[in-house]
Structure 1
């Protein structure tokens, strides 16, 4: 009997040890499986090159946009063209001879007609072009037509003359207008609040060294009512 009791105690001890070991194994946290690596991002699709036909259509659209803009300016019912013009210099006026008629300031009188004034300085000092108008108006805009657009970046001041003869600067600085390659002319446009005074004259000043080369102006339009 004593032997059987001893065996029973040993068996109980072994069973308890086995259960305790099993409990510890169950308590041990299971390591989480590593997250799968992210798939590499798909490469961005290559930019599609426009076809020859699309490029041709874009050129035609640019020409149409230019023509629409220019037609609006040329036929503006509130616009008027200069009736008088004078300038600080004229191409060829320093050689002791009368400047050629193709370069004089009076060519700026009237609407755009591909006749223009050309100054006599490429990169020296300042030149100005002064225009007079038949009808004094409360002005809102000045538009300068520059053949080919060469020299448009050199325009650095626009002044308006009231009916008392006083000049008022409405803009001065560095021109942000670039050559418009859509057409044969570039329009330098300066818009401002309607003047309280009547405007009878416009003066355009050019800083010759800002953009080297002779400067030309075809016509200058005054907008107002």
Structure 2
């Protein structure tokens, strides 16, 4: 065998060996693995359609509201710890700017005593502030004040409540925007403010009204102080 032929054979064998080595090193194509699909959150359930009340159900709800109002009002009217105003005076009275005596149907003394469908009416619909001041026969350590507004006229305009101690000093127990709305369940709306028992004896109360907060004349029927 000639040298040239040996060289050719050697080159051929080297080439074959190199190809075989490359083929051995090349990994087999791995099977394609698909990622699992992301879990899909269940769609939120549609809200149940509102069920219209029958006429009988509406009537029952109306009667229940009236019963709830009556129960609440009876508790206030007959509260053994409550007392009604013994005296009353006010900043204005309806008609007191016409040069004549105001009508008896509007004067502050109508507030004296329990609820009796008589009331005080102020003389301003949307201007300035008015106040109603009441006194009580028995000074008490107070916990609550209840003001009756016939038909809710003026209840949203109350801006401050003060209590007077036996030395004549006035103490503010609440001021701000009234959160009480007209109570359509009955003929009266009760403005109620509850507070910690006063360390001093209370002999009077003063209710201030911001007239432009609720337009129209304001009416107060009675003011009850609760305490012992």
TM-score interval, smaller chain: 0.7 to 0.9
The C-alpha deviation readout for 1:150-185, integer Å capped at 9, x for no partner, is 211111111111111111111111111111111111
* Aligned partner (choices 45, 48, 52) of residue 46 of structure 1: 48
Alignment of 1:97-176 (within 5 A): 97-176=100-179
* Aligned partner (choices 211, 216, 227) of residue 213 of structure 1: 216
User: Which is worse superposed, 169-178 or 31-40?
Assistant: 31-40
TM-aligned CA deviation for residue 33 of structure 1 = 7.5
User: Does the residue aligned with 2:190 lie in a helix, a strand or coil?
Assistant: strand
Could you tell me the TM-score, scaled by structure 2's length? 0.83
* Aligned partner (choices 59, 83, 95) of residue 56 of structure 1: 59
* Aligned partner (choices 72, 75, 81) of residue 72 of structure 1: 75
| Aligned match of 2:180 | 177
Could you tell me the TM-score, scaled by structure 1's length? 0.84
Matches of 2:209 and 2:179, distance apart in 1: 14
Unaligned runs of 5+ in 1: 1-16
The C-alpha deviation readout for 1:49-97, integer Å capped at 9, x for no partner, is 2322222222222111111111111111100001111111110111011
Unaligned runs of 5+ in 2: 1-19
The C-alpha deviation readout for 1:129-165, integer Å capped at 9, x for no partner, is 1111110101111000001112111111111111111
User: Does the residue aligned with 1:62 lie in a helix, a strand or coil?
Assistant: helix
Matches of 2:177 and 2:35, distance apart in 1: 66
Which stretches of structure 1, 4 residues or longer, exceed 6 Å deviation after superposition?
none
The RMSD of aligned alpha carbons is 2.2
Alignment of 1:8-27 (within 5 A): none
Matches of 1:48 and 1:67, distance apart in 2: 30
